[in-house]
Amino acid sequence: MYLSSYNAVQEFAKQLERNIGGVNFHTKVVVTPSSINEAGVVIKVSLLKTFIPNEPPAAKSSRSVRIRVTVAGRIESMTGLKQATEAIEALDRYLMSPDLRLEVMNGSQIPVGISNSRITQQIREEDSFLDSPDSIKVQDVQDDRIVIITFPQGGN
């Protein structure tokens, strides 16, 4: 299967939505640019770059997208703090899965991994939880990571 960079980002967001969640929380996944005006924590998927890898030579038949994945929101209670940390931990566990591939839904609405695709991540070391300058009772969460998805390149 061949995808465009745009389609790869959209499918990745759907893949995260299916796989990130827990008993105590459900996190909305949005692809930016998108206006988000709701309480709680969201996962933002932002396209940073699309490119054809240089190495190895066989990689020229593939395309890569670099994406920023951010767990973001305002934490106004201990419940919010718990949900934010659970979302970050769930994202870590999922993105560190062995042999993680980009998935699309087949005709039976079952996720299927795309052959010759792969997903890797780089964790940013900056702090994720920041005190809000406007309130001593509120923290902001912004946990960033860079995800690189490589997939077979389309013909158009």
Q: Is the distance from CB of 150 to CB of 64 less than 8 angstroms?
A: yes
All domains of the chain in start order, with CATH: 5-152 (3.30.2000.30)
Beta bridge partners of 115: none
Q: Please tell me the pTM assigned to this model.
A: 0.86
Q: Parallel, antiparallel, or unpaired: how do β-strands 62-75 and 139-152 relate?
A: antiparallel
d(C-alpha 62, C-alpha 51), whole Å: 9
Statement: residue 64 has pLDDT above 90: yes
What are 107's two structure tokens? 């005709």
Nearest CA to 17 out of 8, 6, 27 is that of 27
Average pLDDT of the chain is 85
- Ramachandran bin of 72, using left for φ above 0, alpha for ψ from -120 to 50, beta for the remaining angles: beta
Alpha-carbon dihedral angle through residues 151, 114, 145, 88, given to the nearest 10 degrees: 180
Q: pLDDT class for 16, splitting at 50, 70, 90?
A: very high
Return the ∠ at Cα 102 (arms to 97 and 108), rounded to 5°. Answer: 110
Tens-digit pLDDT profile for residues 95-114 = 999 999 999 988 888 999 99
Task: For residues 155 and 131, give the distance between their C-alpha atoms in angstroms, rounded to a whole number.
Answer: 48
Cα–Cα–Cα angle for 83, 109, 19, rounded to 5 degrees: 20
Give yes or no for a contact between 125 and 59, defined as CB atoms under 8 angstroms apart.
no
Helix axes 5-19, 78-95, angle to 10 degrees: 120
What is the reported pLDDT for 136? 65
